[in-house]
Structure 1
Amino acid sequence: MLFKHLPDEIFQALSGSNRALIEAVLTDLASVFYDHADDPIKDKSVIIECIEDTLHKLDTLAWHDEQKEPFDSPKTIHDYALRIYHRLVNTGWLVEEQELYRVSVLMTPQVSMLLRSFIDISQHGKRNYGATVLSILSNLESVAKHPTERGVTLSQTAEAARDFSAHLNQILLGIRSLQRELFESRDPKAIVAGFFDLFVEGILIADYKTLKTSNNPFRFRRQILELTQSFLSQSDTLQQVAQCYADQQLISLTKAEQLVEKDCRDIIQTFSNIEQRLERIDEYRYRLEKRAADTARYMDSSRPGMANKIAGIISDVAKYDTPPVLKEMIGARFVGMASAAQPSKRREPPPPRVMTPAEVSAEAIKFRDQQRRFHEARQVTLPKMQSYLDKQLLSNDSKHILDFTIESVEDFVCFDHLRYVGSLGVTAKKLEEAYEIQFTNEYLDVHSFVECREFTVVRRSKA
């Protein structure tokens, strides 16, 4: 039976009129008994002091006598603490052990597990999916590398995957029940407060925003599925992991193989249909956020659903030949432009697009190369001008402007910049030291390319 390990009166303390005080005390006592670095058996005085500290934090104290007890009505905090302490002992939450004159208090394992479950339910908060998925992937990689020594880790990984799947179901059902509760409410303040207190603080995933990014927690899903499927497809690995199961859990090899296959299939099932479940969660989340946004938008102007009511009023007025005069509306202005505002529609994600490499035609490549070579030819560099002058002068000591040849774009650019060697900066100092440009006042047309002042390039002597 489910309750055969629990005292029969254990739920009486939480079902009476004093359950608020009992609940607050049990919540604080849980941290005292769950202290991993301390002795689980406590002195009676320590428990009573803890109860007194809890009562000091409460705003009001009110004890209702539910049955005849051999105690007077509590007057002080200490009296309240004693009354609650004896109430917990009588209902089986606490167990007293006496050694001579020393009274110790403890919790049985079954009661401790029950209280821990209650605390987990009351503190059901956000969960980080990224850490869960990474831990599952890390354990699977460890099993793949060392199946004989660490194969039993697969059992813990499957349990984490099942817990992860159950948490998704809890989120889905929690949002659905919260949505039904808020939709039935007609109090705007309660709707907005419930949305932030129950949904944002209690149900929403801690790293929910990352689910829509490239750095989402499920980017390792393919690796998890491949590793898990490899355990089932590779008979050697399956035998090694099953042998580790059998050695650690002291079971037969046949039963160990069945457990390994079950754990692997649970992991595969959890991560195979994760997208569909997240889409349903996102759909319910959108409806809930839309209702809260509509309520917050209309709280100052009117109330939710006013746009439909205005549409109904207009439809009714259209039935008359002359619009009726509504004297009650004059000066009230409870129907206005802000009342008919509609929230923005949900933005659907764009459909997936198959990325295909674009083929560049040969003509485009040829044209791009020609453009690159043209831009390179137009660049003026010192080696280009040095080579052009050496080619033109050869062994001559001087050369006239009309004797220069222009056979390419590079030659034209170098010839055009010979007149500005003195203004080319520090990089052209070598050219100025090797050649001298002597100008005249005459203007000449050089090979029908350019008209410029007449000049002669003279090679400077090394002396």
Structure 2
Amino acid sequence: MGVANSRHYWDVLSRVMATLWGEDGRAPGEEVPKKVVTQVIESCLIADDPWDGELQTPLNVLSHMVFNALADAGWLSVRRRGLVDMVTVKPRISMLFTMLNDFARQEPEYIGGQVRSILLNLRSVTEDSTDPSACSAYQTAAKQARQCMAHIVNTGCRVQDLMDSLVELESARDFVHGFFTDFVERVYIADYSELRTRNHPLQYRGQIIEKTYALQDDDASRERLVSWYTEHIGKGDRERGENAYRRDTNQLLRLNNIEDHLARLDEEIKVANQRALALIEYKLRAPKHLDKLISRACIALTDMEEEHPALPGDAGGVHWSPSALAKPRKQAREQVATAVEEVELTDEELAMEWLRRRMIENRKVTPVQLANYVVRMLDGKQRMSSDTLSVTSINDLCCYQRLLLIASRDDAPLTQRRHDPLIQMLRGIRVRFDDDSMTNNDYMTHRRFVVEREEA
């Protein structure tokens, strides 16, 4: 679309196509009134105006201007039906839009699904030998094999081009964002990580090669395929049909060399990762304007004479060679292991350690301990208050305090109580405060709470 603000018009066209002639909308060629199209354009401008206040044109006027620009460019076709202008998208225009849209997105592809589809198409050729139209699956399999190989080869080239553009970015923030957004999410093959596993998506390529050779070596199958190619591709010319069949067969047999292309792709991705890590480390560690300082130093170095005071005297006339600029090697310090000191505990220390562990165990409140305490206190009753709860040990007192804490959570909303880990410790038991009355025992004074069984 060779007009001013072409990117803005493309955004509006993409939304109109997705709304009216998208996957869930009308098919290309179906007509809609012009008023419907302009209303869709208006809604797009209201929701997300690409111009963003650059134009001071009223909305209804702007929508008609955008519509006329799209119609003049040939994207929309207008036909007069009586007194109403009807708008449609021609199938060729829709195909062009789809190709441009797919080219702009460049989303990762799942190689495993393509390889499996190739195998299923070849199987249908042999299994449906009585159906003449089954031979078309052979051509479909060859196209998919060509696309699969092209995608793997092109991915390596795209990795090179993308990394060359990323290293030119000045800030580390832009580089990291571009690396993980453009490289990891968009360039990688979607199932790349599975290509080296036991269940990798290319495990069927051996069966594909085997079936391709079987169809080629079997005279009846080969004649059936050549006849189909002669009729549909060669238009009656057997030589053209055989050439087309041979070309598609070679495309399928190219999958036998896919390991070489994957090895090249692995190398490209390995180099890209190394460059990314090196650049990120450099950007994070290097001070600001270091490149400018180094450039100024190099320029000044060329203007200095050899015996200048600013130059080192023992460099031998070489000041920026790898040997002169390299960091001096440091001898690795020998790591001496520290001897393990054996300490023998006295009987008193062992007794204190045992006592400390007993104290920790007695103060633990697990769901099982809390449930046993509640069951022992209820003793078959439906409910009981905190006034009747007894405390005979440290663990009973800790369980008692835990019930008081659970009662304080009962006033929370139901959505919060459902996921509260304290309340979930007791299944089928509810602990709540009983009005404003108080409980006063030998250990504490607090609001009275009630422990009761919930009805099933």
TM-score by length of 2: 0.58
1:257 to 229, 236, 242: 242
CA distance in 2, matches of 1:19, 1:266: 39
Aligned pair count reads: 295
After superposition, give the CA deviation of every residue in 1:106-133 in whole Å (9 maximum; x if it has no partner): 1233322221111111121011111000
1:57 to 1:253, Cα distance in 2 relative to 1, 3 A = same
Name the residue aligned to 2:349: none
1:316-359, CA deviations, whole angstroms, 9 ceiling, x for partnerless residues? x995579xxxxxxxxxxxxxx9xx9xxxxxxxxxxxxxxxxxxx
Which of 199, 202, 207 matches 1:223?
207
CA, structure 1 residues 57+293, in 2 after alignment: closer, same or farther (shift >3 Å)?
Answer: farther
- 2:12 aligned with 1:25, yes or no? yes
Q: In the alignment, what sits opposite 1:232?
A: 216
Tell me which of 96, 114, 117 is aligned to 1:132: 114
| 8 Å CA contact 1:29, 1:50 repeated in 2 | yes
The answer on 1:145 being equivalent to 2:127 is yes
* 2:111/2:201 contact within 8 Å kept: yes
State the 1:215 CA deviation.
Answer: 0.9
Structure 1 counterpart of 2:82: 100
Is residue 2:20 matched to residue 1:38? no
| Equivalent position amino acid for 2:183 in 1 | F
1:122 lines up with 2:107 in the alignment: no
User: Which residue, 178, 188, 194 being the options, matches 1:204?
Assistant: 188
Stretches of 4+ aligned residues off by more than 4 angstroms: 246-250, 317-322
CA distance in 1, matches of 2:50, 2:87: 27
Aligned to 1:151, the other structure's residue is in SS state helix
- Letter of the structure 1 residue corresponding to residue 184 of structure 2: V
Which of 254, 275, 293 is the matching residue for 2:259? 275
Report Cα offsets for 1:25-59 as digits up to 9, x if no partner.
11112222244652532221221122122222325
Residues 235-294 of structure 1, C-alpha deviations (whole Å, 9 max, x = no match): 22101222344455683272433322221111112x022111111111111122222223
1:58 matched to 2:40? The reply is no
User: Matched residues in 1 for 2:88 and 2:140: separation?
Assistant: 30
Q: Which secondary structure state, in structure 2, belongs to the residue aligned with residue 103 of structure 1?
A: strand
Residue aligned with 1:217, SS = coil
In 1, are the aligned partners of 2:77 and 2:88 still within 8 Å (CA)? yes
Check whether the contact 2:231–2:241 (CA below 8 A) recurs between aligned residues. Answer: no
Aligned pair in 2 of structure 1 residues 60, 106: CA closer, same or farther (>3 Å)? closer
Residue correspondence of structure 1 range 407-418 to structure 2 within 5 A: none
Gaps of 5+ in 2: 299-309, 316-326, 331-456
Q: What is the root-mean-square deviation in Å for CA atoms of aligned residues? A: 3.2
Secondary structure, counterpart of 1:218 in structure 2 = coil
Change (3 A) 1:253 1:296: same
Distance 1:109 1:245 in 2: 27
Larger deviation, residues 129-138 vs 76-85: 76-85
2:26 and 2:43 map into 1 onto residues whose CA distance is 19
Highest Rg: 1 or 2? Answer: 1
Q: How does 1:24-423 map to 2 (within 5 A)?
A: 24-31=11-18, 32-35=20-23, 38-39=26-27, 40-58=30-48, 61=51, 75-149=57-131, 150-246=134-230, 251-252=235-236, 254=238, 255-269=240-254, 271-302=255-286
Distance 1:303 1:114 in 2: 49
Percent of counterpart pairs with the same letter?
24
Counterparts of 2:58 and 2:97, CA distance in 1 = 27
Contact 1:126 1:204 in 2 (8 A): yes
2:142, 2:208 → 1: CA distance? 11
Aligned to 2:177, the other structure's residue is in SS state: helix
